[in-house]
Structure 1
Amino acid sequence: MDKINIKLLTELMQNSRIPITKLAKKLKVSREVATYRLFS
């Protein structure tokens, strides 16, 4: 796991209903990258 995955999981633990677009902005990655990391 890298830093992006750890940040993604941390954000989801705090708010599991956050939209992908907001999650991507917080992680400073594209929506596609956030979606890929979440579902792969």
Structure 2
Amino acid sequence: MFGLGPVLFADGSFTERMVTLGVVILIYLALATLTYFVFRRKGK
């Protein structure tokens, strides 16, 4: 669903690409954290 494609193929400036990269990294971190807590609770 979320990938690095929007970062690599963005038509904007370098700054716009870095902002997009930051957003994608934040989404990855949020999904990873959510997944960690969901599976941690199921394990107990």
Q: TM-score, normalised by structure 2?
A: 0.34
Bigger radius of gyration: 2
Judging by fraction of residues, say which structure has more helix: 2
Higher relative CO (Cα under 8 Å, sequence separation at least 6) belongs to 1
